[in-house]
Each structure stands twice: as C-alpha cells, then as structure tokens.
Homo-oligomer: A and B are copies of this chain.
Amino acid sequence: MTARLVLTAQPLTPEAFAPFGDVIAARGAADPINQGMGGRCNDLAQVDVTADGGRAAISVIRCIPEPLPIELRLMERHPLGSQCFIPLSGQRYVVVVAPAGSPPALADLRAFVCASHQGINYHRGVWHHPMLALDRECEFAEFHRAGPGTNCDEATLPGPVVVQLTG
C-alpha cells in the first residue's frame, strides 16, 4: 500500500520558484515611468509561445475553491509553450509543480502558496497541477500560447498526495 504524501505549501518567492518558472510581482528598483507617477520592473518572465506556429493569447479562467487538505488529481505540462496566471479576484492560491522532463515522482513535487499580488509563469514543459483556488471562486488572467499542435500532456501521480498550508 502506498502511503499518502502530505505536501506543505511554501510561500512563493522568485528564488524558490526559479526551477519551475517566474514570479510576476514588483521587485527591486523600478525604472521611472509615467512622468514620475510610477515605476516599471521590466521583462520579468521567460515568455515562450512561438514554437510550431504558436502565438501569444490572453484568456481568463474561473476556479472553484477546494477544501484543505487538497487531494491532488494529476499533473500536466505544456510542451509547446510557457503559461502565465495573474489573479483577478484579489485572492491567494496554491500551485504544485515538478521539473520539466519525465513524469514526476512524488519526491519531485513542490507546492507554493501564492499571494494575491503575485502571478506565476510556468516555463515550457514544467509539470504543474491544475490551478488550485482556496477561499472562494476566483478568476485568473492567463497569458499563454495558442496555435496548432497538442500542447497539453497529462501524467497520473504515482500515489496519493494532498497539499496543506502549514506543517
């Protein structure tokens, strides 16, 4: 019998998320813009959407919240492009990721709890669980590849996994 893995979601930081993608949030010194009324943190993500005739597209997803601890269902990856989500409902959320490559082993999984002012950009091919909402129904803007070809692979998890927020 396979024991159930309990993953504890860590706070999202650019450094911890770097093996999987980019954090979209202001950081460091911002270049002045808008006649002194603002600043800009430029080019924060590896946007990779043009493979095999792809183009950049913008969609919106709605997510139904899931009770903690969350039972994971499967992992997916997009072999042809990066994928970015920005929260639109002022809500925190959870992402579960594993490195690009072979379908993930349980030991490869990492979970992050993301604040409402943070977006994430999965690098092309990075395994990730479908988006996990926590507190209420919420929406995300999605910046992604559109175009020909099959751009979603799924992998079953090798055993039962749940995510919690604190150890």
Contacts and interface: CB of A to CB of B under 8 A. Distances in A.
Interface of A: 22, 24-26, 30, 33-35, 37-45, 47, 49-50, 55-64, 66, 73-74, 84, 86-90, 116-119, 121, 130-131, 133, 139, 141-143, 146
B41 A58 contact: no
Given A39-B62, A44-B60, A90-B90, 13 more contacts: A34-B61, A34-B130, A35-B73, A38-B64, A38-B131, A38-B133, A40-B142, A43-B58, A44-B58, A44-B59, A47-B55, A58-B84, A88-B116
A26 B117 CA distance: 19
Contact of A56 (B39, B49, B74, B90): B49
